[in-house]
Structures are given as C-alpha cells and as structure tokens.
Amino acid sequence: MPDPFNNLSALEKRLGISPQENSELNGSRVLKAYEFAKLAHGDQKRDEGTAYVIHPLRVALILLDDICVADEVMVMAALLHDVVEDTTKGIQEIKDSFGDSVSDLVQALTRVRVYPESEPHKFARKGDMFDWYIHEASEKVRLIKCADILDNMRSWAYIPDGHNSEKKFRRWMREAELYYMPLAKLTHPFFAHEIAALVEKYREEKRFAA
C-alpha cells in the first residue's frame, strides 16, 4: 500500500475535495494554481525521490486540513510558493495569471539563490531571512512559511541513506532549532507543537546528530 505522505494521486484527490467542501474557497481557482505549479515544476524531483509538486501540494493541504485556512489566496500561494524560486517562471507570470494578492505572497516566500554558496553562508543568509519573517512578515506569509517548513521537515525522514543531502543535516537541525521553532511559536500552536516534536525526534537519530 502506498505511503499516504508520498501518494500523489491520493493527495490530488484531497485537494479536489477540500476547496469544494469550503464555501469560502473557489475550487476552480485553487485547482488552476495547482495545475500551473505542476506544469512549472515538470520533472523536478525532491531529495526523497518524489515528484517535486507533491511538496507544495502537501503545504496547501496542511493549511486546508490542519489549521482550517479558508483563504483561497493563501492556498493558491502555497501551491505556487516555489515556482519562482525553483523554475523558469517569473513573478510577473504569477501576477498575470493569479493577481497581485497571490503574487505578493509568492514574492515574499521566494528566496533569492546565490551560486555558489557555502553551507555557513547559506545558514547566515537564512538567519537574515527568518529575522524578516519574525519581525516584518504578515501573518499569511508566516502561516504559509510554517506549513512549508513542517512539510520539509517531515520529508527528511524519507531521504535515502547515503543521499548527498545528508551533509546538510547538521545545518538543517541548527536552522530548525534557531529559526524554525521561534517562528512556529510566534505563528500558530499547531506548528509550534509539530515542529518541536520533529526536532526532538530527529535528535534521537544518528544521521541528524552527526
């Protein structure tokens, strides 16, 4: 039986149901955003080997199912949050397709990548970014970011032994403790609990403690 966490077709069915069950959400606009993200991410893969689009899909479902977000703009932005950062699509295309409210959230969630970038430099730049999230970002941005963090952290458990990303585990744990947990505590009790629990879980695993 497929693992529900990585079962794309099952997750797609959940997205198709969730907006239609909530009268405050326009299901067709949400599904349009998902199709846009799916096309943009194309054949990209996650570190755990799944189709990349499964990540923004799960982020949107966290908002819908776990904290009962009824704001279609937030759900659409969650689905699109990595499109500008990780594909060839630009923010103007998001704006033209989905409007200013969605594109503004996507822009706020987009990290400008610098190449090449050492692990210490990336850690420092993320510190500046999370300082902005904590002190200046809107509640909507913080909620989407926390859903993004939570799904990424859940996915760490699925990264195969020996994968190149294992060299990043130490930095990821430091970021979780110094950046993610304070943001989650500020943002929502659900995220504060879930992210803290994952930090404790991974502390007990040798490959994260190394």
Tell me which residues are annotated as active site: 85-86
The one-letter code for the residue type at 143 is L
Strand partners, 45: 51
Closest CA to 110 of 139, 145, 143: 145
Distances (CA, A) of 192 to 52, 63, 119, 133: 25, 14, 26, 15
C-alpha span between 89 and 113 (Å, rounded): 15
Tell me the residue type at 157: A
Non-local CB neighbours of 140 within 8 Å, separated by 6+ positions: 71, 73, 74, 77, 105
Please report where in the chains the tokens 């999370």 appear, as a residue: 130
The encoded tokens of residue 207 equal: 């490959």
The Cα 27–Cα 22 span in angstroms is: 9
Instruction: Please say whether the beta carbons of 19 and 25 come within 8 A.
Output: yes
3-class secondary-structure state, position 113? coil
